[in-house]
Structure 1
Amino acid sequence: MPAIPVAAVQVLQVVVVLLASPLVSGFIASVEARMQGRRGPRVLQVYYDLAKDFSKETLAPTGASVLYFLAPALSFACYLTVPMLIPVLTSFALPLGYMGDIFGGGLILSMASFFVAVAAAETGDGYAQLASSRSKSFSAITEPVLLLVVMTVGLITTTDLPYVLGATVRSGPAQIVRPAHLLASAALLMVILFETARIPVETHSGLIELGMIEGGRPFEHSGPLLALLKWGSATKQMVLYVILLNVFVAPWGMASTARPTDIALAAAAIVGKALLLGVAIALLDNMFAKLRLFKITEFVSAAFLLAVLAIFTLYLGGG
């Protein structure tokens, strides 16, 4: 069977992340509801909601500039750029795999967050602007955490390329239980909980405006613009899950060749791993309560401390 061109595989990575992201979000919501004794939404409900939003009319606040209309599409484009730089389906680097490291991917995700913040500011709505301000304030702590995690990666692998780190983890079980690697992975997981608005930072099932962060920013968007923001949020979650799974925690199941069967199995593997991680996230959502707003800084500071400890364990030896 002839191999798929590597350029087509790179496009398939984006397509898999794009199409699977609503499935993972819907699966987490369904599992969480079952754990709480509720029937909950259907697993495919997110797809229906997106289709409904795309079919609605777009209403813009008075005085909104062109940035209000462009920001959702720009942020969505940023989220779709990152899957071209990280190992989603293959263990070997694709043509664009070496054009951006983890720093580059983090910068693109930060740029997407900036566009969403701009879109919220353009609405003039108090709740949307307040949620955007909170997000940027807490990001002042979480972004240094990512930098320290990347620094730990660089010290372990002598590079910050995600494909190289994944290969290092696959080289032997000793790499997985390395203390610095475990600390950096835990710090990254805490950052993902913050970035995806999960408990203990935020709850997806609550509608208390005064406590919203991620869920409050698209308050004044409607129609296709709201659909892009929702789909972009789910895509960001899937991208972060892929980084955690295929780079840090479980970089197995990826294709070593570009044959169609290997690529199909790799696509099923990453979706399956993301769903299993979703079960763990749902468990966390049910085991803990939402933190008070002023306590969130302590949560993200704990992630920062774990990242610092990862650096120290490497420098002190044995890490």
Structure 2
Amino acid sequence: MSLLLPIPAVQALQPLTILVAAPGISGVIAKLEARLQGRRGPRILQPYYDLAKLFAKESLAPAGVNAWFLAAPIVAMACYLTVPLLIPVLTTFGLPWGYMGDILGGGFVLSLGSFVVAVAALQTGGPYAQLGASRSKTFAAITEPVVLFVVFSVALVTGTDLPYALAATVRSSASQIVRPAHLLAAGALFLVILYETGRIPVETHTGTNEFGMIEEARSFEHSGPYLALLKWGSACKQLVLYTLLINVFLAPWGLASSAAIGSVALAIVTLVGKALVVGAAVAVIDDSFAKLRLFKITDFVSAAFLLSVVAVFTLYLGGG
């Protein structure tokens, strides 16, 4: 008989898995993108080396900022690691904190992490940091209603917006996935993920062009360990969004049905494998389409919003 892990240990493994695997997922995506562009690219483990280098450096802060500037990266990281406690990362059964919040609550926590980083950027007085913070909050006002509609449409299909219950409904039958309303909602969520992870539509996720950067601009004035936390938190947010897509909406299989060590270990490997598949698809999409102009972001996000609205109408018209 396999040795069973204590339930609190399984609970702790969910954010720990996200924390450890997130830089590696980013490294694989960066390597694949480089290969698609005909370049050698960085090492897959390069994000880990970058984090180690930043943690060893000195931290500097602009004149005039208060303690919130330094606290923001820590708060943001805490937000990004709270969401894995609420969604099925490794198990099919609900963990102690698994029913303390729904997908909507998890979305609010992710938004809070983004908000505190933007507030810290605004404190610096730096033009690029303030520009990135202003842009991120402007476009967040468009993307957040999309997330609300996605959750609303899927909740209508399944009768609940609890992540574990949603995953159980999808897992109960493959026919659940091919429902028109569900597919439209999942498509809208995927478009939001492309925007939230900086893949489409402006510049690149690692770009430093002041005319297009958003995510990179907000951390312009941070350095040392605090910059490392921001970059690590960004990778964690990316993996959390991938996990939400694959373990709740599209492929909630391969999760552990018990606390046995073997089952949990297999669930970790399966999660990383599925995340790499999503990351590969994102890399191909990112390299296959030209970047849009900044003012075209609203068109891109509006398409996601339209998909979520159509999902709701499709449900009422018998496509759910």
Q: Same fold (TM over 0.5)?
A: yes
- Residues matched between the structures, number: 319
Q: By how many angstroms is 1:290 displaced?
A: 1.0
Could you say which residue in structure 2 is the equivalent of 1:90? 91
Partner amino acid, structure 1, of 2:192: V
Q: Percent identity?
A: 66
> Structure 1 pair 227/205, CA: closer, same or farther in 2 (3 Å)?
closer
Partner of 2:216: 215
Indicate the SS of the match to 1:29.
Answer: helix
Q: How do 1:92-111 and structure 2 match up within 5 A?
A: 92-111=93-112
SS state at 1:41 partner: coil
* Runs of 4+ residues over 4 Å off in structure 1: none
Q: Aligned letter for 2:198?
A: A
Query: Is the 2:205–2:215 Cα contact (8 Å) retained in structure 1?
Result: no
Tell me the SS of whatever aligns to 1:281: helix
Kept after mapping to 2: 8 A contact 1:84/1:97: yes
- Is 1:292 the counterpart of 2:293? The answer is yes
Kept in 1, the 8 Å contact 2:197–2:205? The answer is no
User: Match for 1:56: what amino acid?
Assistant: K
- Cα drift, residue 205 of structure 1: 4.3
Task: State the shift of 1:260 in Å.
Answer: 0.0
Q: Cα deviation per residue 1:150-189 (whole Å; 9 max; x = unaligned)? A: 1012101111001111111111121111000000000000
Unaligned runs of 5+ in 1: none
Partner of 2:81: 80
Q: In the aligned structure 2, how far is the partner of 1:6 from the partner of 1:246?
A: 20
Partner AA of 1:276 in structure 2 = V
Displacement, 1:207?
2.2
User: What code does the residue aligned with 1:215 have?
Assistant: E
Letter in 2 for 1:115: V
CA distance in 2, matches of 1:8, 1:234: 23
Map 1:151-162 to 2 at 5 A: 151-162=152-163
Equivalence map 1:39-188=2 (5 Å): 39-188=40-189
Q: Distance in 2 between matches of 1:199 and 1:139?
A: 15
Q: Distance in 2 between matches of 1:55 and 1:122?
A: 25
Deviations 1:191-232 (A, max 9, x none): 111111112244124321121011111011100010000000
8 Å Cα contact 1:76-1:232 kept in structure 2: yes
Instruction: Assess if the C-alpha contact under 8 Å between 1:120 and 1:129 holds in 2.
Output: yes
Return the alpha-carbon distance in structure 2 between the equivalents of residues 127 and 312 of structure 1: 41
Distance 1:168 1:159 in 2: 10
Match of 1:301 in 2: 302
Quick one: which amino acid aligns to residue 310 of structure 1? A
Partner of 1:283: 284
Deviations 1:244-290 (A, max 9, x none): 01000111110001000000000000001101111101101110011
- Deviation, 1:318, is 2.4
How far apart are the structure 2 equivalents of 1:202 and 1:196?
12
| RMSD (Å), alpha carbons | 0.8
CA contact (8 A) 2:202 2:212 kept: no
Q: Which runs of 5+ in 2 are unaligned?
A: none
Q: Does the CA-based 8 Å contact 1:72-1:116 persist in structure 2?
A: yes
TM-score normalised according to structure 2 size: 0.98
Cα separation, 2, equivalents of 1:291 and 1:253: 37
